[in-house]
Protein backbone atom coordinates (compact mmCIF):
# COMPACT_ATOMS: atom_id res chain seq x y z
CA UNK A 1 0.00 0.00 0.00
CA UNK A 2 1.35 3.39 -0.99
CA UNK A 3 1.28 6.09 1.66
CA UNK A 4 0.20 9.44 0.24
CA UNK A 5 1.88 11.24 3.13
CA UNK A 6 5.29 9.86 2.18
CA UNK A 7 5.45 11.95 -1.00
CA UNK A 8 5.53 15.28 0.76
CA UNK A 9 3.35 18.32 1.05
CA UNK A 10 2.61 18.66 -2.64
CA UNK A 11 1.06 15.21 -2.83
CA UNK A 12 -1.03 15.84 0.29
CA UNK A 13 -2.22 19.13 -1.12
CA UNK A 14 -3.08 17.60 -4.51
CA UNK A 15 -5.03 14.82 -2.80
CA UNK A 16 -6.99 17.32 -0.73
CA UNK A 17 -7.63 19.47 -3.79
CA UNK A 18 -8.87 16.44 -5.74
CA UNK A 19 -11.34 15.64 -2.96
CA UNK A 20 -12.61 19.23 -2.83
CA UNK A 21 -12.90 19.30 -6.62
CA UNK A 22 -14.99 16.13 -6.59
CA UNK A 23 -17.45 17.69 -4.14
CA UNK A 24 -17.67 20.84 -6.28
CA UNK A 25 -18.17 18.86 -9.48
CA UNK A 26 -20.94 16.78 -7.92
CA UNK A 27 -22.70 20.01 -6.89
CA UNK A 28 -22.27 21.46 -10.38
CA UNK A 29 -23.54 18.26 -11.97
CA UNK A 30 -26.65 18.42 -9.81
CA UNK A 31 -27.25 22.11 -10.61
CA UNK A 32 -26.78 21.81 -14.36
CA UNK A 33 -28.52 18.45 -14.54
CA UNK A 34 -31.53 19.87 -12.72
CA UNK A 35 -31.61 22.89 -15.02
CA UNK A 36 -31.43 20.63 -18.08
CA UNK A 37 -34.26 18.41 -16.83
CA UNK A 38 -36.57 21.22 -15.76
CA UNK A 39 -35.89 23.32 -18.84
CA UNK A 40 -34.55 26.43 -17.11
CA UNK A 41 -32.31 28.28 -19.55
CA UNK A 42 -30.84 26.64 -22.60
CA UNK A 43 -31.31 22.90 -22.13
CA UNK A 44 -28.51 21.90 -24.49
CA UNK A 45 -26.01 24.24 -22.82
CA UNK A 46 -27.05 23.01 -19.37
CA UNK A 47 -26.65 19.39 -20.44
CA UNK A 48 -23.18 20.08 -21.88
CA UNK A 49 -22.16 21.78 -18.65
CA UNK A 50 -23.42 18.76 -16.68
CA UNK A 51 -21.25 16.53 -18.88
CA UNK A 52 -18.32 18.88 -18.25
CA UNK A 53 -18.88 18.41 -14.52
CA UNK A 54 -18.75 14.64 -15.00
CA UNK A 55 -15.48 15.03 -16.93
CA UNK A 56 -14.12 17.05 -14.02
CA UNK A 57 -15.04 14.30 -11.55
CA UNK A 58 -13.31 11.74 -13.75
CA UNK A 59 -10.22 13.91 -14.17
CA UNK A 60 -9.88 14.54 -10.44
CA UNK A 61 -10.39 10.89 -9.55
CA UNK A 62 -7.93 9.59 -12.13
CA UNK A 63 -5.43 12.28 -11.15
CA UNK A 64 -5.68 11.39 -7.47
CA UNK A 65 -5.21 7.69 -8.24
CA UNK A 66 -2.16 8.45 -10.38
CA UNK A 67 -0.65 10.60 -7.66
CA UNK A 68 -1.31 7.98 -5.03
CA UNK A 69 0.18 5.07 -6.98
CA UNK A 70 2.60 6.83 -9.33
CA UNK A 71 5.55 7.18 -7.01
CA UNK A 72 7.97 9.82 -8.26
CA UNK A 73 7.69 9.04 -11.96
CA UNK A 74 5.81 10.34 -14.95
CA UNK A 75 2.48 9.00 -13.69
CA UNK A 76 2.61 11.30 -10.67
CA UNK A 77 3.26 14.31 -12.88
CA UNK A 78 0.34 13.39 -15.12
CA UNK A 79 -1.80 12.97 -12.00
CA UNK A 80 -0.90 16.49 -10.89
CA UNK A 81 -1.89 17.76 -14.33
CA UNK A 82 -5.21 15.89 -14.16
CA UNK A 83 -6.00 17.45 -10.77
CA UNK A 84 -5.07 20.87 -12.17
CA UNK A 85 -7.42 20.27 -15.11
CA UNK A 86 -10.19 19.32 -12.70
CA UNK A 87 -9.61 22.53 -10.73
CA UNK A 88 -9.70 24.58 -13.93
CA UNK A 89 -12.96 22.95 -14.95
CA UNK A 90 -14.43 23.72 -11.51
CA UNK A 91 -13.54 27.40 -11.95
CA UNK A 92 -15.08 27.43 -15.43
CA UNK A 93 -18.26 25.77 -14.15
CA UNK A 94 -18.51 28.28 -11.31
CA UNK A 95 -18.36 31.10 -13.85
CA UNK A 96 -20.95 29.41 -16.06
CA UNK A 97 -23.26 28.73 -13.12
CA UNK A 98 -23.40 32.43 -12.32
CA UNK A 99 -23.68 33.41 -15.97
CA UNK A 100 -26.49 30.97 -16.82
CA UNK A 101 -28.30 31.39 -13.48
CA UNK A 102 -31.78 32.71 -13.07
Residue-wise pLDDT for 27-45, tens only, equals 999 999 998 999 877 889 9
Looking at residue 4, its pLDDT comes to 46
Q: Is 57 helix (H, G, I), strand (E, B) or coil?
A: helix
In this prediction, residue 83 has a pLDDT band, given cuts at 50, 70 and 90, of very high
Q: What is the pLDDT averaged over residues 6-24?
A: 83
Q: Are 68 and 15 in contact (CB under 8 A)?
A: yes
Give the residue with greater pLDDT, 39 vs 81. 81
Looking at residue 52, its pLDDT comes to 96
6 pLDDT more than 60: no
What gap in Å lies between CA 101 and CA 98, rounded to an integer? 5
89 pLDDT more than 90: yes
What's the CA angle centered on 9, arms 8 and 11, to 5 degrees?
75
Q: What is the pLDDT averaged over residues 39-65?
A: 91
18 pLDDT more than 80: yes
What gap in Å lies between CA 49 and CA 33, rounded to an integer? 8
Amino acid sequence: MVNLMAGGGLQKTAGTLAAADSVAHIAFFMVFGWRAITGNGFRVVQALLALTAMAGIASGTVGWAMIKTGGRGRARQLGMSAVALSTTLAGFLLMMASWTGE
